């Protein structure tokens, strides 16, 4: 029974890898298309602030996708999940949110919560790094 569960788990992980590659590729093409379209429409070679923020958000989405793909590769090759890498993906996602956030319409309580989240993730990552240990979850 365990043999079938492990085979199923491997199949699901490989399927996720293929889907992540498709998503990352299409997202990269979309970022390129948005930049190209923004540069060739009048006024030429200028992007407004909203488009730049959208582009930065899309860049970070691609980076998050690449980090997730790296994590999935680690899961399939080593049967482990590195906690530090997962925290870095979380930090990258929060940085993306901070970059694209509209301060004029965002509630102050949300901003405070975002700040607490940033400090919590950064603190956890710092503690993991200074401990000198590798925190990995075995997936066997």
Q: What's the average model confidence in pLDDT over 127-133?
A: 85
Q: How confident is the model at residue 117 (pLDDT cuts 50, 70, 90)?
A: very high
Instruction: Yes or no: say if 100 and 54 are a contact pair by the CB < 8 Å rule.
Output: yes
Instruction: Yes or no: say if 121 and 91 are a contact pair by the CB < 8 Å rule.
Output: yes
Q: What's the average model confidence in pLDDT over 62-83?
A: 82
Q: What is the pLDDT of residue 38?
A: 85
- How many helices (H) and strands (E) in the chain? 4, 2
* pLDDT greater at residue 80 or residue 20: 20
Q: What is the pLDDT of residue 51?
A: 82
Q: How far apart are CA 101 and CA 123, in angstroms?
A: 23
* CA-based R_g, the chain, Å: 19
Q: What is the pLDDT of residue 104?
A: 87
Instruction: Look at the block and give the residue holding tokens 């989405």.
Output: 61
3-state helix vs strand vs coil in the chain, percent to 5: 80, 5, 15
Closest-CA residue to 98 (of 109, 110, 89, 88): 110
Q: How confident is the model at residue 93 (pLDDT cuts 50, 70, 90)?
A: confident
Q: What is the pLDDT of residue 138?
A: 67
Instruction: Give the H/E segment covering residue 137.
Output: strand 136-138
* pLDDT greater at residue 79 or residue 56: 56
In tens, the pLDDT along 11-69 reads: 888 898 899 999 999 999 999 998 898 888 888 778 888 888 888 888 888 988 898 88
């Amino acid at each position: 029974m365990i043999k079938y569960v492990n085979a199923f788990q491997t199949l699901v992980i490989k399927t996720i890898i293929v889907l992540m590659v498709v998503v990352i590729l299409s997202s990269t093409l979309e970022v390129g298309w948005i930049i190209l379209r923004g540069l060739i429409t009048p006024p030429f070679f200028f992007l407004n602030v909203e488009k730049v923020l959208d582009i930065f958000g899309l860049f970070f989405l691609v980076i998050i996708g690449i980090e997730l793909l790296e994590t999935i590769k680690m899961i399939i090759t080593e049967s482990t999940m590195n906690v530090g890498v997962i925290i870095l993906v979380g930090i990258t996602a929060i940085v993306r949110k901070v970059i694209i956030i509209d301060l004029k319409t965002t509630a102050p309580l949300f901003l405070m919560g975002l700040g607490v989240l940033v400090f919590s993730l950064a603190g956890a990552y710092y503690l993991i790094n200074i401990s000198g240990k590798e925190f990995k979850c075995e997936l066997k």
